[in-house]
Every structure is written in C-alpha cells, then in structure tokens.
C-alpha cells in the first residue's frame, strides 16, 4: 500500500530537474528537516564540479574536474572525505525530522560509510525524500526494489507538478503520526503547476 512507502525518491536523466524538485520540496516543507542536496558548479556553459550543501548550510565539493582522487566518474575526481564529513552526518535520523537525501548515486556510493548511512536513514521511521540515479549497481537496484520506497521519474511533463505531489504525500504520512505537523502546501493546487 502506498501509505507505507515513507521513502519518496525521484529518478531521471541527468539535468532532468531532480534537484530542482527537491529544492522546491525543501522550500515548501515548513517542517524540521536535515540532510543534503547537490548543486552544479559551472564555468561559462561547462559543468566543472558538483557541490554538496547540507540543510544547515555546510558546503563542500562532491566531485570536481581537477580533483586528484583515486575515485573517478568520467572526468570528475570524487571526494570521499567530503561525502563522509558532510553528507553522512547530515542524514542521521533526528527526532521526527524529514531527511533529504540528494542523491544515492555512483559518486556517493564509492563510500561504504555513506551506503550504511543511507540504509540507516531508509530503515528509520523518518520520512526520507531523495533522488536516486537511473540504472545503478546491485546496491542501488536493491534500494529501488524496497517495499517502503515510492519512485517518481522526473520528466519535462511532470517536474512542475512533482513538488506539490510530494508535499501532499509527506502531509498524508505525517497525518498518520501522533502529533504530526502539517506541511505548508498539500497537493491541492496541482491544477496550477505555476502556482
């Protein structure tokens, strides 16, 4: 049943808008939350790095073109140190906080510590909202097959609607918890994606 799927994830092609949807969800939450999201760093029209930012404002490179690292995805060196110093502590379950986990991807999964932390968040009673890469290895496919996960694929047709859909799902999940708080928006204004 959908209501027990308390882990809500987005997937989609690179640059499909997954992180944009997540940031709109964060802005609309109005609830205690912790976690991290990723950002691109660009030089002109070229992407040169990926940054991680925690919800409490800490920032660090996830991967950079000129980073010297034994862990690489295409032209990017990946910072295991930053994943473990920033992302991992940010997704530890706290009280009934919403956990933001952007993303479970190939770069983050170089870290066994991150993988354990992600499973701990997913196994917790906390609602988790995150992104997960298309495809993936055995670990990622195992997460996608969990019974407590709901995955939306982000497309140009639905990306403006998804923030309110997800906020509505969070509101429904919270309503079932004792003393659950309400989110700022629910899915009531789905007919107006620009609203």
| Residue % of the chain over a pLDDT of 90 | 82
Query: What is the SS3 string spanning 53-105?
Result: EECCCCEEEEEECCCCCCCEECCEEECHHHHHHHHHHHCCCCCCCEEEEEEEC
pLDDT at res. 174: 84
- Alpha-carbon separation of residue 58 from 68, 87, 187 (angstroms): 22, 10, 31
Q: Is the pLDDT of residue 125 over 70?
A: yes
Phi, psi dihedrals of residue 153, rounded to the nearest 5°: -90, 125
More confident residue, 82 or 136: 82
Sheet (strand 72-73) strand order: 72-73, 76-78, 59-64, 46-54, 33-43, 98-104, 128-132, 7-11, 149-153
pLDDT at res. 24: 96
pLDDT at res. 192: 32
Cβ pair 118, 101 in contact under 8 A? yes
Q: Is the pLDDT of residue 39 over 50?
A: yes
Residues 92, 121: Cα–Cα separation, whole Å: 6
pLDDT at res. 124: 97
Predicted TM-score of the model (pTM): 0.88
- Alpha-carbon separation of residue 119 from 93, 108, 123 (angstroms): 11, 13, 6
Task: Give the alpha-carbon dihedral of 57, 63, 67, 72, to 10 degrees.
Answer: 150
More confident residue, 191 or 28: 28
Which position has the token pair 């925690």? 54
pLDDT at res. 186: 35
Can you list the domains of the chain with their CATH numbers? Answer: 2-37+80-189 (3.40.50.300)
């Amino acid at each position: 049943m959908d209501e027990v799927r308390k882990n809500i994830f987005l997937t989609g092609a690179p640059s499909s808008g997954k992180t944009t949807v997540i940031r709109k969800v964060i802005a609309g939450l109005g609830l205690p939350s912790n976690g991290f999201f990723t950002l691109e760093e660009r030089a002109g029209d070229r992407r040169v790095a990926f940054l991680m930012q925690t919800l409490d404002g800490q920032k660090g490179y996830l991967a950079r073109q000129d980073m010297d690292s034994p862990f690489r995805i295409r032209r990017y060196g990946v910072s295991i140190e930053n994943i473990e110093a920033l992302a991992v502590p940010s997704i530890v379950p706290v009280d009934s906080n919403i956990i933001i986990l952007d993303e479970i991807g190939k770069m983050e999964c170089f870290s066994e510590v991150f993988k354990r932390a992600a499973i701990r968040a997913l196994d917790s009673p906390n609602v988790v909202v995150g992104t997960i890469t298309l495809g993936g290895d055995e670990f990622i496919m195992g997460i996608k097959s969990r019974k407590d996960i709901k995955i939306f694929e982000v497309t140009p047709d639905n990306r403006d609607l998804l923030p309110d859909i997800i906020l509505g799902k969070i509101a429904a999940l919270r309503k079932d918890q004792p003393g659950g708080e309400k989110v700022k928006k629910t899915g009531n204004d789905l007919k107006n994606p620009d609203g």
